[in-house]
Amino acid sequence: MPVVLRNPPFLDDGEPMPTRYWLVGRREVLTVSQLESRGGVRRAEAEIDPLLVADAHRRYAIERDAQIPPDHDGPRPHGGVGGTRTGVKCLHAHYAWHLAGGDDPVGAWVARQLVLALEVDEVGAKEVEEQA
């Protein structure tokens, strides 16, 4: 069972999909939701250098946009992790990219918090399923 889905930059109907990595593992979604409900987004923004977060958004967008055909003429996905351009919007999206091998300081922070506060192990087998 995959833990993360890797989405194409567009949905089947052509609508832009800014979220490249989607956390789908039941246990992972639940534990990250618990972290968010305990103020995790605010804590992450307070503890992680905003320049590192901004750089992660930039790299995420570059990776996603590299999958868009050069002759694409319609609307394009926007933003970085979770579709935002600044700060932390969704710990689930950051953690998904981290599990898929992305260099995401927020995703790494989430992994540490889950181990420390919620006493879970980080998923070792970074199972990512491609979405068509």
For 65-87, the pLDDT digits (tens) are 999 999 998 999 999 998 888 89
Model confidence at 124, in pLDDT bands (50, 70, 90)?
A: very low
| Cβ atoms of residues 49 and 88 within 8 Å | no
Mark residue 83 as left, alpha or beta (left: phi above 0; alpha: psi -120 to 50; beta: remaining): left
Write the pLDDT tens digit of every residue in 84-116: 888 998 999 999 999 999 999 999 999 999 887
What is the domain extent for residue 106? 4-130
Structure tokens, 105: 């300081």
Strand partners, 4: 23, 128
Domain count, the chain: 1
**pLDDT exceeds 70 at position 130:** no
